Amino acid sequence: MEAIWIYQFRLIVIGDSTVGKSCLLRRFTEGRFTDVSDPTVGVDFFARLIEIEPGKRIKLQLWDTAGQERFRSITRAYYRNSVGGLLIFDLTNRRSFQHLKNWLDEAKMHMQPYQIVFLLVGHKCDLTNLRQVSREEAEQTALAFGMKYIETSAKDGVNVEESFNILTRDIYERVRNGDITIQEDWEGVKSGFVPNVVHSSEEAVKPGRKCPC
């Protein structure tokens, strides 16, 4: 029997305000982009299924956090139950790149005793003329953090699918090889939902036959 989804992963999206977290999530879950996007208040929730192998789907629960400092006490509660995260900066805003280490330290402090698999994302790659961080520099930072790196644009739809796919596949591999285990008091990974078994035609009551009950 084919499962509707074999695992559910909870992912958190973090980074400075205005780097484009909500737009990236909206593009991924709703396939649209808007130039006007209100700052997130506290935490928003998105969800999507992705197919990891033919017939095998993973449900992603996506927590979109506010980058603004005043919401930090709310957002930090979401690290502990996340298995993966997108650590995002804006390629046209050097300060958002310089703040990455602070975001990572904050995550490490609040995810204990669990681990989060992160992907570093350089966002707004469509704004090539305004770029303030080179690909090489970002790749070196990702290496130092022990993460993969990708450049995305919600506006042009560049690498949006790929970023979530890379992170989901990384987590999936770690679940399969036992590096990440499902635990009762942790929401990071849940095992799948399988619909009720449908009786085969042989088991079904045939017309004219006596009811087995």
Ligand X SMILES: Nc1nc2c(ncn2[C@@H]2O[C@H](COP(=O)(O)OP(=O)(O)OP(=O)(O)O)[C@@H](O)[C@H]2O)c(=O)[nH]1
CA distance 86 to 151: 12
Q: Does 124 sit near ligand X (CB under 6 A)?
A: yes
Q: Does 75 sit near Mg ion (CB under 5 A)?
A: no
* Residues 9 and 60 sit within 8 Å (Cβ to Cβ): yes
Closest CB to Mg ion among 22 and 61?
22
Q: Which partner in ligand X, Mg ion, none is near 175 (CB below 5 to 8 A by kind)?
A: none
Closest CB to Mg ion among 65 and 168?
65
Closest CB to Mg ion among 40 and 92?
40
* Residues 48 and 62 sit within 8 Å (Cβ to Cβ): yes
Closest CB to ligand X among 8 and 22?
22
* Residues 76 and 4 sit within 8 Å (Cβ to Cβ): no
The torsion angle over the Cα atoms of residues 123, 127, 130 and 134, rounded to 10 degrees, is: 50
Paired sense of beta strands 5-14 and 56-65, if any: parallel
CB 62 to ligand X: min, Å: 12
Q: Lay out the site mask for ligand X across 134-173 (x = CB under 6 A, - = otherwise).
A: -------------------xxx------------------
CB 120 to ligand X: min, Å: 15
CA distance 138 to 160: 18
CA distance 140 to 123: 16
CB 23 to ligand X: min, Å: 3
Q: Does 37 sit near ligand X (CB under 6 A)?
A: yes
CB 203 to ligand X: min, Å: 52
CA-CA distances (angstroms) from residue 95 to 19, 100, 165?
Answer: 10, 9, 27
Q: Return the residues of window 9-38 that contact Mg ion according to CB under 5 A.
A: 21-22
Q: Quick check: helix, strand or coil at residue 186?
A: coil
Binding site for ligand X (CB under 6 A): 17-23, 35, 37, 39-40, 66-68, 123-124, 126-127, 153-155
Binding site for Mg ion (CB under 5 A): 21-22, 40
